[in-house]
């Protein structure tokens, strides 16, 4: 690999990089986590990634809905926020 | 479990909270417990203040549950969740004045937008997606531009971010990417925003096509990303989204407990 020059050397490094990154991605996604020893195909990883991101987006939407209902009825003004902030800082 | 709570009552009125913490707790966590315990004891308890006290306790449990979980994992998301929570609360507070008469729909919008912006801001300009998210939020023509600006606070307090315009000419994109690279080399390790070597190799070919396009449409600023940078950004984006969901979910559970009482 070190003997090569120009375009082909660059692309083989990128190949390894990308394969490695795709594998890291696979480990992040719960659907594919179980198959940790095997490398799933890149297209499968991509597909599951897109589904996973969409699920996460939907969860955030739903949680925002729930929170908007829940936080309507408790006093979220200064008290709690001040306490949480004092805990964090 | 490390923490024990005991509640002493006299005639049904709670008078004293005790927090017993295990000696194996890390120092900052013990400090937090003692600090909070101190403020609890100073309160004069009465029947009316109990719900308030309980909600304060819930918030303590909530932040503790985050701390414990990440201490157990001993990984970097620790500071990410803290940073996110801090910024989210600050953002919510900035919208507080108009919150009183808000419809549920408006409130939901504030909660979601402040959460998204907080997570992006917690990345401190180190990733392309986070810069893009904030740029889109305050972009001219965005219906919620003013809300986003309110959440972000005065310009002096904002993180310095590179302006990302959508649909710019390729020439401008490259110049801007160079500026981003220059700035990032001075500060710390950042993820490049510029398109990588465009020559498709046999492996990169696996990443072309519809699926790659879909992925790019899902990530803020995805249209500027390619190859290696796309996957790196995706990794960071997913980690951030998960942290955001975890914190929001904890808060929802905590709030639910308060409401039940």
What's the token pair of residue B80?
Answer: 């990410």
pLDDT band at B157 (very low <50, low <70, confident <90, very high): low
* Contact indicator for B91, A76 with CB cutoff of 8 Å: no
Closest approach of A58 to chain B, Cα-based (Å): 10
* Contact indicator for B52, B39 with CB cutoff of 8 Å: no
Give residue-wise pLDDT tens across range A26-81. Answer: 888 887 776 656 677 888 888 999 999 999 999 999 999 988 887 664 444 445 55
Query: Rounded to whole angstroms, how far apart are CA atoms B193 and B173?
Result: 10
Question: How many structural domains is chain A composed of?
Answer: 1
Please indicate, yes or no, if residue A3 is contained in any of the structural domains: no
Give residue-wise pLDDT tens across range B198-220. Answer: 444 444 555 668 888 899 999 99
Judged by DSSP in three states, B7 sits in strand
User: Where do the structural domains in chain B lie, given as residue ranges?
Assistant: 77-155+203-253
> Crossing angle for the helix pair B210-218 and B227-260, nearest 10 degrees?
50
* pTM, entire model: 0.64
Identify the pLDDT of residue B256.
Answer: 67
* DSSP-assigned letters across all residues of B34-53: HHHHHHHHHSPP-TTTHHHH
* Contact indicator for B158, B188 with CB cutoff of 8 Å: no
* Contact indicator for B125, B119 with CB cutoff of 8 Å: no
Please indicate, yes or no, if residue A76 is contained in any of the structural domains: yes
- Work out how many CB contacts closer than 8 A connect A with B: 158
CATH code for position A61 = 4.10.280
Please indicate, yes or no, if residue A82 is contained in any of the structural domains: yes
pLDDT at residue B238 greater than cutoff 90 = yes
Q: Which residue of A has its CA nearest to B32?
A: A87
**A64 with B32: Cβ contact below 8 A:** no
pLDDT band at B64 (very low <50, low <70, confident <90, very high): low
Q: Distances from the Cα of B88 to the Cαs of B53, B115, B238, in angstroms?
A: 23, 5, 18
Query: Rounded to whole angstroms, how far apart are CA atoms B34 and B31?
Result: 5
Question: Chain B, 45-104: which have a CB under 8 Å from a chain A CB?
Answer: 52, 55-56, 59-60, 63, 82, 85-86, 89, 92-93, 96, 104
Identify the pLDDT of residue B36.
Answer: 41
**A63 with B214: Cβ contact below 8 A:** no
H runs (alpha helix) in chain A: 6-28, 30-33, 42-73, 78-88
Interface residue A13 vs chain B (CB under 8 A) = no
Rg value, chain B, Cα: 23
- HSE-up (13 A, CA, CB side) for residue B239: 21
Identify the pLDDT of residue B220.
Answer: 94
**Candidate from A59-68, B22-31, B80-89, B175-184 with smallest mean pLDDT:** B22-31
- The residue written with tokens 């975890």 in the block is B246
**B248 with A65: Cβ contact below 8 A:** no
pLDDT at residue B56 greater than cutoff 50 = yes
For residue A48, what are the domain limits?
Answer: 15-88
A chain contacts of residue B221, beta-carbon cutoff 8 Å: none
Q: Which residue of A has its CA nearest to B107?
A: A68
Euclidean distance between the first and final Cα of chain A, in Å? 50
pLDDT at residue B229 greater than cutoff 60 = yes
pLDDT band at B176 (very low <50, low <70, confident <90, very high): low
> Residue B252: is it exposed, middle or buried by C-beta count within 10 angstroms (0-12/13-18/19+)?
buried
State the best of A9, A12, A14 to mutate against chain B, taking most chain B CBs within 10 Å: A14
Q: Which residue of A has its CA nearest to B242?
A: A56
More confident residue, B4 or A37: A37
Average pLDDT over every residue of B55-67? 59
- DSSP 8-state symbol, B187: S
Q: What φ, ψ does residue B75 adopt, rounded to 5°?
A: -125, 175
Judged by DSSP in three states, B241 sits in helix
- DSSP 8-state symbol, B81: H
pLDDT at residue B155 greater than cutoff 80 = no
Closest approach of A72 to chain B, Cα-based (Å): 8
Average pLDDT over every residue of B6-16? 50
Please indicate, yes or no, if residue A2 is contained in any of the structural domains: no
Interface residue B34 vs chain A (CB under 8 A) = no
Please indicate, yes or no, if residue A10 is contained in any of the structural domains: no
Question: Chain B, 134-173: which have a CB under 8 Å from a chain A CB?
Answer: none
Q: Which residue of A has its CA nearest to B251?
A: A67
Average pLDDT over all residues of chain B: 67
Q: What percent of chain B has pLDDT over 90?
A: 18
B189 alpha-carbon distance from chain centroid:
21
* Contact indicator for A26, A45 with CB cutoff of 8 Å: yes
**A60 with B235: Cβ contact below 8 A:** no
Question: Chain A, 55-84: which have a CB under 8 Å from a chain B CB?
Answer: 56-57, 59-61, 63-77, 79-81, 83-84
Please indicate, yes or no, if residue A57 is contained in any of the structural domains: yes
Please indicate, yes or no, if residue A59 is contained in any of the structural domains: yes
């Amino acid at each position: 690999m070190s003997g090569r020059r120009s375009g082909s050397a660059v692309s083989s490094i990128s190949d390894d990089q990308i394969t490695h990154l795709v594998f890291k991605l696979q480990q992040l996604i719960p659907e594919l986590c179980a198959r940790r020893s095997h490398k799933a195909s890149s297209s499968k990883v991509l597909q599951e990634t897109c589904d996973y991101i969409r699920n996460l987006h939907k969860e955030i939407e739903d949680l925002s809905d729930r929170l908007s209902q829940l936080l309507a009825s408790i006093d979220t003004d200064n008290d709690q926020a001040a306490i949480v902030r004092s805990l964090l800082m | 479990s490390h923490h024990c709570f005991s509640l002493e009552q006299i005639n049904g009125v709670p008078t004293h909270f005790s927090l017993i913490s295990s000696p194996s707790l890390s120092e900052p966590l013990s400090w937090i417990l003692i600090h909070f315990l101190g403020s609890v004891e100073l309160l004069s308890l009465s029947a009316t203040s109990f719900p308030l006290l309980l909600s304060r306790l819930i918030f303590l449990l909530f932040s503790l549950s985050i701390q414990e979980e990440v201490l157990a994992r001993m990984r970097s998301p620790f500071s990410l969740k803290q940073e996110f929570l801090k910024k989210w609360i600050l953002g919510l507070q900035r919208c507080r004045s108009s919150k009183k008469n808000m419809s549920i729909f408006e409130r939901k919008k504030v909660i979601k937008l402040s959460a998204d912006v907080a997570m992006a801001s917690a990345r401190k300009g180190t990733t392309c997606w986070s810069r893009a998210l904030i740029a889109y939020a305050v972009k001219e023509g965005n219906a919620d531009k003013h809300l986003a600006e309110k959440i972000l606070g005065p310009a002096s307090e904002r993180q310095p971010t590179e302006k990302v315009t959508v649909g710019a000419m390729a020439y401008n994109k490259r110049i801007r990417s160079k500026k981003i690279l220059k700035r990032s080399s001075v500060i710390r390790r950042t993820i490049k925003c510029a398109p990588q070597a465009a020559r498709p190799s046999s492996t990169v070919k696996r990443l072309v096509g519809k699926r790659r396009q879909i992925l790019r449409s899902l990530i803020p600023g995805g249209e500027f990303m390619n190859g290696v940078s796309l996957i790196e950004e995706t990794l960071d984006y997913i980690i951030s989204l998960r942290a955001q969901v975890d914190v929001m979910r904890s808060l929802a559970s905590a709030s639910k407990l308060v409401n039940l009482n």
